[in-house]
Amino acid sequence: KPLISAHGPANDSARNNSDCPHVVLPDEVFFTISVVGVLENLLVLLAVIRNKNLQSPMYLFICSLAVSDMLGSLYKILENILIMFRNTGYLEPRGTFETTADDIIDSLFVLSLLGSISSLSVIAADRYLTIFHALQYHSIMTMRRTVIILGVVWTFCTGSGITMVIFSHHVPTVLTFASLFPLMLVFILGLYVHMFLLARSHARKISRLPRTNMKGALTLTILLGVFIFCWAPFVLHILLMTFCPNNPYCACYMSLFQVNGMLIMCNAVIDPLIYAFRSPELRQAFKNMLFCSRCQ
């Protein structure tokens, strides 16, 4: 598929025009990283569910990002299982079942990207409210509104993800897929610029805010930087594969397809480590869950 092309690198004609060898990574590496990503993000979800002190809008938005990361890891696990069944002869190559299963798996991948972009955006908006509307924050961002926001976000992401996979062979779909990246950056950058301008005029007021508010903004910056580093190479791959598949320079970059895919899997592993490192409450919840006998 032009949009995802999950099972292979650049096409043959592109490889013939380039001297760059195709980089191949063992399936075991992808599978191991994906399993670790699922387990880590599942631990985040369980920690928030089991600890009432973590059940706040901020941590619910973090859970939304954790679900997105988990879907990205689950996508690769299911893909590997599907390929294994096909290679062992249990599935008819390019049969109806494999085609349908492949569409469902690809939907998980697109949903992971859309969910990550949406979750980072709502986390940015939440951090903005905690800094510049601290006194009104709890009346603005109630748990009910948080649940409604997440419901709207995931309904939109699910519908958009299915639509993108169905029309993945159309160029407008590829452009829409790739444009989500800069749109998210423009939105968050706009919030950052506005926060900076307000910070200059309210420096004394901001200095009196709890350190957790500013720490949350820094955590968002780290999460955003990791997300861009891990996903941008793959988005660039999609654009090059669509608009210059036979160019030798494009083909040379596309020979790194599996490396770019591994970066996406690594994003799901890194994010929970960031949560744990930046949040003492979540770190303590992890310790209580993993070493409960010692804690007691």
Query: Could you give the number of structural domains in the chain?
Result: 1
Least confident of 13-27, 122-136, 203-217, 271-285: 203-217
Residue 3, pLDDT above cutoff 50: no
Query: 214 versus 296: which is more confidently predicted?
Result: 214
Q: Mark residue 9 as left, alpha or beta (left: phi above 0; alpha: psi -120 to 50; beta: remaining).
A: beta
Q: From the CB of residue 138, how many other CB atoms can be counted at a distance below 10 Å?
A: 13
What whole-number distance in Å separates Cα of residue 268 and Cα of residue 70?
7
Residue 198 sits in a domain whose CATH number is 1.20.1070.10
Least confident of 91-95, 210-214, 236-240: 210-214
Q: Which residues contact 9 (CB under 8 A, 6 or more apart)?
A: 15, 22, 254, 255, 257, 258
Report the alpha-carbon angle 216-222-225, nearest 5.
Answer: 140
- Is residue 247 domain-resident? yes
CB 260 within 8 A of CB 233: yes
- Is residue 228 domain-resident? yes
pLDDT at position 23 is: 83
pLDDT at position 1 is: 45
What whole-number distance in Å separates Cα of residue 204 and Cα of residue 114?
38
- Is residue 9 domain-resident? no
What whole-number distance in Å separates Cα of residue 209 and Cα of residue 133?
10
Q: From the CB of residue 230, how many other CB atoms can be counted at a distance below 10 Å?
A: 22
SS3 content of the chain, % helix, strand, coil (to 5): 80, 0, 20
pLDDT at position 5 is: 45
State whether the Cα torsion 122-139-193-270 is positive or negative.
negative
What whole-number distance in Å separates Cα of residue 18 and Cα of residue 6?
21
- Is residue 7 domain-resident? no
- Is residue 85 domain-resident? yes
Q: Which domain holds residue 122?
A: 22-282
Least confident of 90-94, 274-278, 286-290: 90-94
Percent of the chain whose predicted confidence (pLDDT) is above 70: 82
- Is residue 12 domain-resident? no
For the stretch 169-227, pLDDT in tens is 778 877 887 788 788 888 887 877 776 666 656 555 555 555 555 566 677 788 888 88
Query: 247 versus 294: which is more confidently predicted?
Result: 247
pLDDT at position 77 is: 87
pLDDT at position 174 is: 79
- Is residue 1 domain-resident? no
For the stretch 141-175, pLDDT in tens is 899 999 999 999 999 999 888 888 888 777 887 78
Residue 186 structure tokens: 């423009």
Residue 39, pLDDT above cutoff 90: yes
- Is residue 3 domain-resident? no
What's the pTM value of the predicted model, to 2 decimals? 0.83
Query: 294 versus 121: which is more confidently predicted?
Result: 121
Residue 292, pLDDT above cutoff 70: no
For the stretch 53-76, pLDDT in tens is 888 898 999 999 999 999 988 888
Indicate the average pLDDT of the chain. 80
pLDDT band at 293 (very low <50, low <70, confident <90, very high): very low
